[in-house]
Structure formats: structure tokens, C-alpha cells
Amino acid sequence: MLNASWERPPFDIVRFAHVELVVADLGAAREFYVDLLGLVLTEETDDALYLRGYEERLHHSLVLRRGAEPALGHIGYRVWSPDDLEKLARHFEGLGCTTHWVGEEAESGLGPGRALRLQDPLGFPIEFFHDMRPAERLTQRYDLYRGANIMRIEHVNLYVPDLLPAYELYRGLGFRCSEYIETDDGQLCAVWLYRKPTVHDTAFTTGYGPRLHHLAYAPADSQSIIRICDILAGAHRESAIERGPGRHGVSNAFYVYFRDPDGHRVELYTGDYYTGDPDFEPIRWSASDARRRSYWAHHVPDSWYDEGTPVVSLDGRTVELKPPVVDERIGAVH
């Protein structure tokens, strides 16, 4: 059983807010994310695309940056006030991390204002920010909706070799646990953690890590998930569909997973539930329950358990991977 006790930390992380992905071909990425999935292109530069959902009021929730190899650039969390950035810097310095400050200029005026960057103890490059340039909210511009009718960024899912240190790090950041999977002998396989009162902002999955498992956006409704599969097939891009559509056991969301032209995994996810009550208790799933990943007991392909996006550290090196302690599929220690 997970220790779900929890204390409000001195800083306030509001939510998971954006991701930067390194892609090899910006044109192919644009065709996939903008022309097919229908994300809104806020701005385009020579080496990057800045994208958002129809509902989003910030400049971007996804940056696609040209680079030699597909990689995770960083994960961005929004904080409630500028003070929280200072407190978080001290918190991570206390954990032995080196912190960096980036500003408007560092982002060519396209990204957040002054922001804190660091490589966390798990090896993930993180950005905490408070300010970002606004963009027009398009929630009710239904005449502009295309593709999967994507409203807003939802969560990020990360591979780690060992679940418990990841859980403890995020518990210390004020994240609560909504659901988790463990083997019948008590090995944690996956955990869903939240700040906004949904099932998660960040999930951790057992696997070679640190790597990005997937990034998720929320579409307008479950019908949009059916439709985007039809659209991809209509455009002869059906091979981008890796898993689903289906219903998750964990989270109860309706989902589909795609692989973008660089192999980054993107989920569309809708229909989870409210987790904001003070007495919310995490839901435990056994790794032997076929409904945990697919409520309809659909087979989950091995690629979904094995493949992911490598992480680039803030100084540009690819972060070395460690093998997982447990394999959820066999429920056994390696």
C-alpha cells in the first residue's frame, strides 16, 4: 500500500503546463500536429513551432524544436506566484540540484518570462514558470476547430527505473496520488500524481529511464478521438495509431495513443474525474488485473511498454538510462 499522507509544501505548483520536444523535421511535425491533429500554431520560427489547444490562454503548451535527434527538451510546470519560483529553487538546491534562471531573452520572447530550470534528481529537465505571453482563447471559435478538437494540455507520463523515489520527489512537491498499479508482492509499477484536481498532471511508469513515455492533450469529447483516427486513416496515416481508442481502467479516461513522425508518443485523453476533495484516497490496481490499462482488456502492445523519448539534460547531453526494477507485464523483479 502506498503511503498517501501528504503535506502542503511552502510553494504552489498549479499544474503541468508545457513540454518541449526535439524533432528532426519541423515540416513533418507541423503536418502531423497542425494539419492532422489540429493544434493551433501560435508562432513559428526558423527552428521551432509553438503550439496550443483551442482553450489555452498562454502562448504555447508544446514547443517543437529542430534538433539532430528526437528528445525531450524539458517539462514545464506553472506556479501560482513569482515567489514560488524562489522557493522551488531553494528546494531543489537542497536536493543537490543546480538551478538556472532563464528569461524572456533566452526564449526569443516567445516563451515564459523569468523561469527556473533544473535537472531533477530523477534526471528530468524541468522548468518552473509563472508568466507567459498570452494568446487568444479560441474555445468558442468552433469555426476554427480541426482534427481532434484539442482543448488543452492534460498531463505528462515519464518512465523511471524505480517508482518510489519518483513518487517521493513529487509528493515533496505537493503532488497527491490518485491511482497506482502494483504487483501482488507490493512492487510499485506506475503512479498517477496531480496538482490540478484531475487524475494527474504527471504519471510515472516503470521502464528504462529517465525517458518521456508520453504527452497528453484533452480533446473536446470522446467522439473527437474516434474522429481523429478516421482522419488519420483517411490521410493514409493510420500507422501513427499505436494503441486504442479505448477506455482506461486507471483514470477511467477514453484514450488513444499516437506516435508522431519522430516517434514521440502523444495521447488524447478525456473523461477522468474530480480528485480535489481533502479525503481523496488513491485507488490501487493489481498488475494482474487485465482491466488496469484497458478497461475492456484490450491487448497493450509491447512498444507501448518499451519505447519512449530520450531525455536531454540542460547542458545538452543525453541522459543515461537505467533498467527498471520491475516489469509490470510479468509482475516480477528483474
Residue 86 CB, nearest approach to its own copies (Å): 16
Minimum CB distance to its own copies smaller for 50 or for 254: 254
Residue 4 CB, nearest approach to its own copies (Å): 14
Beta strands, E only, the chain: 13-23, 40-44, 48-52, 62-66, 71-79, 99-102, 115-119, 125-129, 150-160, 176-182, 188-194, 202-206, 211-219, 241-247, 254-259, 265-270, 283-286, 309-310, 326-327, 332-333
Minimum CB distance to its own copies smaller for 105 or for 277: 277
Residue 317 CB, nearest approach to its own copies (Å): 33
Minimum CB distance to its own copies smaller for 42 or for 222: 222
Distance CA 170, CA 164 (A): 10
Minimum CB distance to its own copies smaller for 46 or for 277: 277
First to last CA, the chain: 21
| Angle at CA of residue 53, ends 204 and 175, nearest 5° | 30
Which of helix, strand or coil describes residue 93? helix
Residue 245 CB, nearest approach to its own copies (Å): 7
Instruction: Give me the DSSP letters along 171-203.
Output: HHTTPEEEEEEE-TTS-EEEEEEESSSSS-SEE
Minimum CB distance to its own copies smaller for 121 or for 197: 197
Chain residues in the site for its own copies (CB under 8 A): 14-15, 36, 55, 57-58, 78, 80-81, 130-131, 134, 139-145, 151-152, 196-197, 220-223, 226-227, 229-235, 238-239, 241, 245, 247, 249, 252, 254, 271, 273-274, 276-280, 290-291, 295-299
Residue 132 CB, nearest approach to its own copies (Å): 9
